[in-house]
Amino acid sequence: MPEMPIIPPDPNAYWIYERPTGAKLIFGIEEGGTVSCIIVLGDSAPDILTARGVGLGDSFSVIVNKYTYPDQTKSIGGSLVALYPDQGVTFTLSRMRVSAITVGSNYSIFLVPLLPSVIPLPGGPPGLRPPGL
């Protein structure tokens, strides 16, 4: 699992959910409750795929077969980042396997450490909180 997920800048909050597989789903929430990005990271989440069918653990060749070659790549530490800005998706690969997928529009790539202090408020995202919270 990557130490630093790819997260777009400046959402007001991040909501983090851990799946039974150990994969994490991170939602960037802007003021008013708009989701600005969705990030999935981990080793496996077979039920979570991009619209073109790419998921965690897939190889670089699977990405190229489904999306063509990336518009841009960056090497960050031991990871390769494949950017598809026109399609609003970025893949982070560790050992040439997808370890993180970021979906969102109009974002720049920034690395933000995933800190334990970044946790959701009780009751879930705005609009999904129980009455009285």
Would you kindly state where each structural domain of the chain is located, as residue ranges? 6-111
Mean pLDDT, the chain, whole residue set: 75
Label residue 124 by pLDDT band (50, 70, 90): very low
Share of the chain above pLDDT 90, in %: 32
Round to whole Å and give the CA distance between 63 and 102: 14
| Cβ–Cβ < 8 Å for 125, 34 | no
Least-confidence region, from 7-21, 61-75, 85-99, 102-116 = 102-116
pLDDT in tens, 28-40: 887 777 888 888 9
Report the pLDDT value the prediction gives residue 28, as an integer from 0 to 100.
82
Report the pLDDT value the prediction gives residue 32, as an integer from 0 to 100.
77
Asked if pLDDT for residue 97 goes beyond 80, the answer is yes
Round to whole Å and give the CA distance between 76 and 118: 23
Whether this model's pTM surpasses 0.75: no
Asked if pLDDT for residue 73 goes beyond 80, the answer is yes
Distance of CA 80 to the CA centre of its chain: 14
Total length of the chain: 133
